[in-house]
């Protein structure tokens, strides 16, 4: 299958500061990708480059096989047939919902236009609100109208910049799921920028993790979670604690959380490793590899509890465990590791970009 969108070795700069570097990715027809990364990592800049608002210092972007951006040449945004949805909805306050949705399809005949508006309002489940004005709607409803408006002209690609971040967290997740269904129903490929991993996991077929202006990994949510390319990606897609460890012999390492059976043979005795431990990697219970951890703090959260443990070597760390374990505060519990992420010390976090290039 031919990609609908290809970004090839992109570089973007503000002045002489490089903020997007060596970014390549491609999106297949109907595919929904989420760009995830910390604040300031370049997500919006990359989206703006695809939309045609941000020039490229080098590289190229093709849409359906045609080059739409390269260094020194840009197809204007309005000629790209790319839809955009923004964080603040950007609806026209003086137009009712039907007219907002109809805004980009004035070239259609009256009957066809009305039919398309009705179809989209139904798709976003706001058909009864057609004559209402944006200020009469909730934030989630307004964002659904913005989505309907962006989809009305049947864009070749939809870009969404932090579309859920003005909403409360429960609504953000349900809207992320709803947006996914709506995009699927229309068959519209999309790229959604977010800094919230749950939204990205819910909405995306593919996740791109951007850090320091570089695309660290472009993969399915499952692959990203199970096999993050480096510690920076692991931290962005999950909560965990990083420990230093040392390989005792092929297949076994020593860590502050006890002995760890290594996942493969590619380690040498004496080698330093870094172990990224998520809550599901911790097994309470007696075992020859376990260490005795002292509970110094416990916070009950219903189905889970967050424990702060002190380990024999003096390290302390916090993690959540299922409430079923039910360990009292100030008690001692044997803990061991089960399949944490293991990184060699040369797979370091990428350094943050503050790279200045001479022109
Ligand atoms: N117009 C501009 N001029 C100069 N620097 C800019 C401009 N816009 C963004 N930057 C800088 O470029 C870097 C990337 O910004 P960008 O907005 O793309 O990041 P982001 O990942 O979308 O961040 P956020 O999640 O906070 O919106 C940041 O360091 C930002 O300060």
Ordered DSSP codes for 8-73: EEEEEEETTEEEEEEEEEEE-TT-EEEEE--TTSSHHHHHHHHHTSS--SEEEEEETTEEEEETTE
Q: Could you tell me the pLDDT band of residue 313, with boundaries at 50, 70 and 90?
A: confident
Task: Summarize the confidence of residues 226-254 as an average pLDDT.
Answer: 94
Pocket test for ligand 1, best of 17, 45, 194, 197 (most atoms within 8 A of CB): 45
Distance CA 311, CA 146 (A): 51
Nearest CA to ligand 1 atom 26: 39
- Probe ligand 1: pick from 14, 20, 86, 213, max atoms within 8 Å of CB? 14
- The whole-number pLDDT of residue 35 equals 97
ipTM metric: 0.97
* pLDDT attached to residue 344: 85
CB-defined site of ligand 1, < 6 Å: 14, 19, 37, 39-45, 195
Q: Please count the other Cβ atoms lying within 10 Å of the Cβ belonging to residue 300.
A: 10
Atom of ligand 1 nearest to the CA of 46: 18
The mean-pLDDT minimum among 241-245, 276-280, 344-348 falls in 344-348
Ligand 1 nearest atom to the CA of residue 37, by list position: 21
Once rounded to an integer, what is the mean pLDDT over residues 315-333? 89
The Å distance, Cα 145 to ligand 1 centre, comes to 27
Mean pLDDT of 112-131: 94
The larger pLDDT score, comparing residue 265 to residue 150, is at 150
pLDDT grade for 357, boundaries at 50, 70 and 90: very low
Percentage of the chain lying above the pLDDT 70 cut: 96
pLDDT band at 346 (very low <50, low <70, confident <90, very high): low
For ligand 1, pick from 37, 40, 41, 43 the residue to mutate: most ligand atoms within 8 Å of CB.
40
């Amino acid at each position: 299958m031919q990609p609908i969108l290809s970004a090839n070795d992109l570089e973007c700069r503000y002045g002489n500061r490089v903020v997007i570097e060596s970014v390549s990715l491609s999106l297949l027809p109907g595919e929904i990708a989420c760009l995830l990364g910390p604040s300031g990592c370049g997500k919006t800049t990359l989206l703006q480059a695809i939309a045609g608002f941000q020039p490229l210092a080098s590289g190229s972007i093709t849409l359906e096989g045609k080059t739409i951006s390269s260094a020194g040449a840009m197809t204007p945004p309005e000629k790209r047939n790319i839809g955009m949805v923004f964080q603040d909805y950007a609806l026209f306050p003086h137009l009712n919902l039907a007219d907002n949705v109809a805004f980009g399809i004035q070239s259609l005949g009256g009957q066809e236009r009305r039919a398309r508006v009705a179809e989209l309002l139904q798709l976003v489940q706001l058909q009864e609100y057609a004559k209402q004005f944006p200020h009469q709607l909730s934030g989630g409803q307004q964002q659904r109208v913005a989505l309907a408006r962006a989809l009305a002209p049947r864009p070749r690609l939809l870009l969404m910049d932090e579309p859920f971040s003005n909403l409360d967290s429960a609504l953000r997740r349900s809207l992320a799921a709803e947006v996914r269904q709506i995009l699927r129903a229309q068959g519209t490929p999309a790229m959604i920028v977010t800094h919230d991993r749950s939204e990205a996991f819910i909405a995306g077929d593919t996740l791109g993790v951007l850090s320091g202006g570089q695309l660290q990994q472009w993969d399915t949510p499952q692959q990203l979670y199970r096999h993050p390319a480096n510690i920076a990606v692991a931290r962005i897609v999950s909560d965990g604690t990083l420990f230093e460890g040392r390989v005792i012999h092929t297949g076994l390492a020593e860590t502050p959380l006890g002995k760890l059976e290594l996942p493969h043979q590619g380690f040498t005795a004496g080698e330093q490793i870094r172990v990224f431990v998520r809550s599901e990697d911790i097994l309470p219970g007696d075992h020859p590899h376990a260490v005795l951890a002292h509970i110094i703090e416990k916070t009950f959260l219903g189905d889970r509890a967050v424990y702060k443990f002190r380990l024999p070597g003096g390290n302390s760390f916090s993690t959540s465990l299922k409430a079923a374990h039910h360990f009292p505060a100030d008690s001692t519990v044997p803990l061991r590791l089960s399949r944490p992420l293991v990184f060699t010390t040369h797979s370091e976090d990428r350094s943050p970009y503050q790279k200045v290039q001479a022109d």
